[in-house]
């Protein structure tokens, strides 16, 4: 059963603490993405990766970090430098097989709350 | 810079009605356009993907059209049902095929 798995579903962070959100896919997709969603706003791109060991900053990368050591995994770390981390975080992946489909698939999201 | 808008922001209709959701984008040089559904507190579910060379795609009661030259796409939902209640988002992918730009979504309520 192919898809994208995000964990945990809910995460609570104390002030000054780093936390890591997990994203795993078994779709054999090369490209993976992290988005942030705030109430009343559209999705905003944090980081993306087109291939293993390579990633690029999106529109709101400050205070976040990622790694892409394996094709299946693209974890996002929310650092203490991110001043307003409370949001819904979504991970996505797409194929880049040259066929041009590039359909995006999303995980079920992680809701991060600062306490 | 690509910008995507969706009209209306919210829509409430009685069950059984046919309805149209609109998506507009400012740069016509797109790779593809995708419609998603999002239920409260959930991730996005892909509904339809239209390649830049296509004019429309259909899946069940859903039909999406694309007019690249005018920068518009519509999602047509036939015979709406209460289970269709959700937020519908459109996203365009640029010709470099790297990133999606999302619209803010249309929140749909179908009343029984």
**Preceding omega of B8 cis (within 30 degrees of 0):** yes
Nearest chain A residue to B5, by CA = A42
Instruction: Write out the DSSP string of B10-78.
Output: EEEEETT--EEEEEEES---EEEEEEEEE-TTS-EEEEEEEETT-SEEEETTEEEEEETTTTEEEEEE-
Of B89, B99, B102, the CB nearest to A48: B99
Render pLDDT for A74-111 as a digit per residue (tens, 0 to 9).
Answer: 999 999 888 899 999 999 999 876 655 678 999 999 99
Render pLDDT for B20-37 as a digit per residue (tens, 0 to 9).
Answer: 999 999 999 898 999 999
- Three-state SS at A108: coil
Render pLDDT for A38-83 as a digit per residue (tens, 0 to 9).
Answer: 987 789 999 999 899 999 999 999 999 999 999 999 999 999 888 8
**Bridge-based pairing state of the strands B100-102 and B4-7:** unpaired
**Bridge-based pairing state of the strands A87-94 and A4-7:** unpaired
pLDDT for residue A102: 78
Q: How far is B77 from chain A (nearest CA, A)?
A: 21
pLDDT for residue B100: 87
Q: Which chain A residues contact residue B104 at CB under 8 A?
A: 40-42
Q: pLDDT by residue for chain B (112 residues), tens digit each?
A: 899 999 999 999 999 999 999 999 999 989 899 999 999 999 999 999 999 899 999 999 999 999 999 999 999 999 999 999 999 999 999 876 568 899 999 999 999 9
Please give the span between the terminal C-alpha atoms of chain B, in angstroms, as a whole number.
Answer: 41
pLDDT for residue A101: 61
Instruction: Specify the residue for token string 């430098």.
Output: A81
Query: Is pLDDT at A11 greater than 70 in this prediction?
Result: yes
Nearest chain B residue to A6, by CA = B43
Q: How far is A32 from chain B (nearest CA, A)?
A: 10
What is the rounded average pLDDT of the residues A27-39? 93
pLDDT for residue A15: 85
- Best residue in A6, A9, A87, A103 for a mutation probing chain B (most B CBs within 10 Å): A103
Contact B86, B21 (CB under 8 A): no
Q: Which chain A residues contact residue B105 at CB under 8 A?
A: 42
pLDDT for residue A64: 97
Kindly indicate the confidence band of residue A1, based on its pLDDT and cuts at 50, 70 and 90.
Answer: low
CB contact under 8 A, A90 and B46: no
Instruction: Report d(CA B90, CA A7) in Å as an integer.
Output: 25
Q: Which chain B residues contact residue A33 at CB under 8 A?
A: 99-100
Encoding tokens for residue B10? 């919210």
- A94, A99, A101, A102 alpha-carbon torsion, rounded to 10°: 20
Show which residues on chain B lie within 8 Å of chain A, measured between beta carbons: 4, 31-32, 34, 36, 41-46, 49, 51, 89, 91, 93, 97-100, 102-105
What is the rounded average pLDDT of the residues A8-34? 93
């Amino acid at each position: 059963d192919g898809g994208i798995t995000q964990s945990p579903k809910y995460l609570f962070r104390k002030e000054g603490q780093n936390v890591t959100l997990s994203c795993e896919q078994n779709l054999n997709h090369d490209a993976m993405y992290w988005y942030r969603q705030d109430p009343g706003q559209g999705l905003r791109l944090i980081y993306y990766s087109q291939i293993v060991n390579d990633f690029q900053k999106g529109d709101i990368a400050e205070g976040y970090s990622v790694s892409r050591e394996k094709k299946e995994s693209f974890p996002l770390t929310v650092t203490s430098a991110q001043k307003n981390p409370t949001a819904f975080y979504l991970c996505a992946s797409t194929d880049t097989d040259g066929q041009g489909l590039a359909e995006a698939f999303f995980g079920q999201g992680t809701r991060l709350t600062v306490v | 810079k690509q910008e995507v808008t969706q009209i209306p922001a919210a829509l409430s209709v009685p069950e059984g009605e046919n309805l149209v959701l609109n998506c507009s984008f400012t740069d016509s040089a797109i790779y593809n356009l995708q419609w998603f559904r999002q239920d409260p507190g959930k991730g996005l579910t892909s509904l339809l993907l239209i390649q830049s060379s296509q004019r429309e795609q259909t899946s069940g009661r859903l039909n999406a059209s694309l007019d690249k030259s005018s920068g518009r796409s519509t999602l047509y939902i036939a015979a709406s049902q209460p289970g269709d209640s959700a937020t519908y988002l459109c996203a365009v992918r640029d010709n470099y095929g790297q990133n999606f730009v999302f619209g803010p979504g249309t929140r749909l309520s179908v009343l029984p």
